[in-house]
Amino acid sequence: MKRIGVLTSGGDSPGMNAAIRAVVRCGIEAGMEVYGIKRGYEGLLDGEICQLDRNSVGDILHRGGTILKTARSERFRTEEGQTHGVSVLETFGIEGLVVIGGDGSLRGGCDLDRRGIKVMGLPGTIDNDLGYTDFTIGFDTAVSTVLDAISKVRDTSSSHERTTVIEVMGRHCGDIALYAGLAGGAEAVLIPEIETDVNELCRKILIGANRGKQHSIIIKAEGVEISTAALTKTIEERTGRETRPVVLSYLQRGGTPTLRDRMLATLTGAKAVELLQEDSDSKAIGTVNGEIVAYDLQQALAQKREIDREMYDLIGILSK
């Protein structure tokens, strides 16, 4: 394979730049020409494509976001869009593509694969919602950001003897809430995968307060059915304790990637190039039990992400 492309798609995540850097430099080392496609599938359809050299990815390893920019593309979801995407790749002579993005982006990669393009999918999303990999690129940084926020909120919550509901990202997957809740010592974690029992939550807050707890930190994933505003109000009404919401929102997407995210991004990027060089079938690349893995792209996306119930229960035990 002589010419490959790389794009980032969906929500940005810290480590995407490290992955781009690895793809470009390993690709050039392998004798390939590497093309950067701007704004994900949207840029592909518009032909926003240019060749990248070693220097073009200098000084980006430690930066959050993505130098290639990212977008969501409704046009690419259509048959017409996907056919056009393939014709643009053919026009540029690009035979293989590295897609860095979440579940939707890799599904878009499957559509290109079905049309004859070799696609290597890298799990670039803070959500950790892909079933085939233990961790996604950006998740570790996002959880670190949430942990930092918890520490700061804890100081003020303790001084004011308050309950604070911290809303974190995760529309369908509660992993950010779960990991941050366990490592941050939250009193409770509310996630979309497990139904919220508001009465039980309020009882827990009151029992803790009666035992002398000065504050309660509740971590709530955004995808939990009850809104953060409604939950805050209900807790305050039922416990009689001052309760405040903190919505972390896009704060969680930015920042310099952690060691873990840089390693995952760099190793999966290098693996993608190795597979393209071997003319391998399309793969989803990730990490399982600390090893870099590459699975059939379509089959990998069929794997459902299961919530770690033991971790959830442990939070309940530790926060009693």
Q: Annotated catalytic sites, by residue?
A: 127
Interface pattern 75-104 for ligand ATP (x via CB under 6 A)? -xx-----------------------xxxx
CA 145 to CA 162: how far, in whole Å? 22
Residue type, 170: G
73 binds ligand ATP (CB under 6 A): yes
Q: Terminal CA-to-CA distance of the chain, rounded, Å?
A: 58
Distances (CA, A) of 93 to 5, 105, 258, 280, 293: 10, 22, 35, 18, 28
107 binds ligand ATP (CB under 6 A): yes
Complex with ligand ATP: residue 67 or 198, whichever CB lies closer: 67
User: According to CB under 6 A, which residues from 4 to 33 bind ligand ATP?
Assistant: 9-11
User: According to CB under 6 A, which residues from 126 to 145 bind ligand ATP?
Assistant: 127
HSE (side-chain half, CA atoms, 13 Å) at 222: 12
Say how many C-beta atoms besides its own lie within 10 A of residue 196's C-beta. 16
108 binds ligand ATP (CB under 6 A): yes
- Tell which residue, 227, 237, 172, has the closest CA to residue 199: 237
Distances (CA, A) of 187 to 143, 173, 237: 17, 20, 18
Looking at 40-189, list the stretches that DSSP marks H as alpha helix, in order from N- to C-terminal side. Answer: 40-45, 79-91, 103-114, 139-160, 175-184
Interface pattern 36-65 for ligand ATP (x via CB under 6 A)? -----x------------------------
Binding segment toward ligand ATP, per CB under 6 A, in 68-76, 155-163, 296-304, 311-319: 68-76
192 binds ligand ATP (CB under 6 A): no
Q: Nearest approach, Cβ of 108 to ligand ATP (angstroms)?
A: 3
Token output for 304: 């459902």
Which residues are documented as binding site for ATP?
Answer: 11, 72-73, 102-105
Which residues are documented as binding site for Mg(2+)?
Answer: 103
User: Which residues neighbour 280 within 8 Å (Cβ) at sequence distance 6 or greater?
Assistant: 118, 294
Q: Nearest approach, Cβ of 318 to ligand ATP (angstroms)?
A: 29
Q: What angle do CA 224, 221, 305 make, to 5 degrees?
A: 90
Among 111, 113, 187, 261, binds ligand ATP (CB under 6 A): 111
Complex with ligand ATP: residue 15 or 102, whichever CB lies closer: 102
Q: Nearest approach, Cβ of 27 to ligand ATP (angstroms)?
A: 22
72 binds ligand ATP (CB under 6 A): yes
Which residue matches tokens 């000084």? Answer: 59
Q: Nearest approach, Cβ of 304 to ligand ATP (angstroms)?
A: 15
Which stretches of the chain bind ligand ATP, using CB under 6 A? 9-11, 41, 72-73, 76-77, 101-105, 107-108, 111, 125, 127
